[in-house]
Amino acid sequence: MSGYTAPRIFVRGVYFDNVTLEEASERLRTSVREGRRETVFTPNSEIVQACIDEPALYGVINAASLVIPDGIGVVKAARILGTPLKGKVAGVDLGRCVLDFSAQDGVPVYLLGGKPGVAETAAERLCGEYAGLNVVGTRDGYFAKTGAETDEVVRAVNESGAQVLFVCLGAPAQEKWIVENRDRMPSVRVFLGLGGSLDVYAGTVKRAPKLFIRLGLEWFYRLLKEPRRIGRMMRLPKFYFGTWIYKLTKK
Ligand code: UDP
């Protein structure tokens, strides 16, 4: 068998692939070349805690073929549980690696998600950055996630001939949408659930300064910039302390 496969690490019910950014990207590149289908999710600890709170979500998140830890909380939890991961792999960075090899290999890409205009702006900027990038379609993410509007989006993706589909609708809506609809988009080889990445590529949202990223404080920067996230971020301490309790009490 070719392609990179890494052991999976179990963190509070979610199976993470223990890969670096380069390994994840190489595996996806090989899969596209060899015609294998991949579904990539990038949960952070908020999403793992959401699974703990609403167990039906496990079935959705664990239905991916590649799950990368996009959060320092998940990396810390894996360490606490005695099964360390190689490190955080930011979904927004993996998205860039996929764009890079898609441009080099002539793989058609579709960008779905964000407010009206964001995907188009992202496409323009990305085409300027990655020579040869072939963006075959864009669409904002404000459509009904089931029924006729979703059918129309699926049709547009199919007609575009995209082989890589960025789905940036926020978590866990994007993960549910991918799992519910991926079988209807047979030409797509890589589905990526990438949250707010199109906003970053379009330049409407800035990533944290490098120092914050290096210190593992990207979450804190996001909280400063988007205080409305405080409610969902309360899942972070719940997840962290819950992981200690889980470790100390499990048989
Ligand atoms: N979004 C969307 N459709 C929706 C709701 C949200 O396309 O119905 C987009 C939103 O514009 C933003 C992204 O989804 O670009 C969510 O970003 P966020 O930073 O909240 O990502 P998360 O952390 O939830 O993955």
| Cis, bond preceding 55 (omega within 30 deg of 0) | no
Whether residue 232 has its Cβ less than 6 Å from ligand 1: no
* Mutation probe of ligand 1 site: the residue of 142, 143, 169, 222 with most atoms within 8 A of C-beta: 169
Find the 232 Cα to ligand 1 centroid distance in Å: 13
**Confidence at residue 5, expressed as pLDDT on a 0 to 100 scale:** 60
Alpha carbon of 195 to ligand 1 centroid (Å): 5
- Stretches in the chain below the pLDDT threshold 70: 1-6, 251
**Ligand 1 contact via 113 beta carbon (within 6 Å):** yes
Give the tens place of pLDDT for each residue, 113-125.
Answer: 999 999 999 999 9
Q: What is the CATH number of domain 8-202?
A: 3.40.50.10700
The pLDDT assigned to 1 comes to 38
pLDDT score recorded for residue 232:
82
Atom of ligand 1 nearest to the CA of 145: 8
Ligand 1 atom with least separation from CA of 196: 17
Domain ranges across the chain: 8-202
Distance 197 CA to ligand 1 centre (A): 9
pLDDT at 47: 95
DSSP per residue over 12-65, as a string? TTEEEE---HHHHHHHHHHHHHHT--EEEE---HHHHHHHHHSTHHHHHHTT-S
Q: Alpha-carbon distance 4 to 6, whole Å?
A: 7
Alpha helices in 70-215 (DSSP H): 72-80, 91-105, 118-129, 148-160, 173-181, 197-202, 210-214
Residue 239 · residue 49 · CB < 8 Å: yes
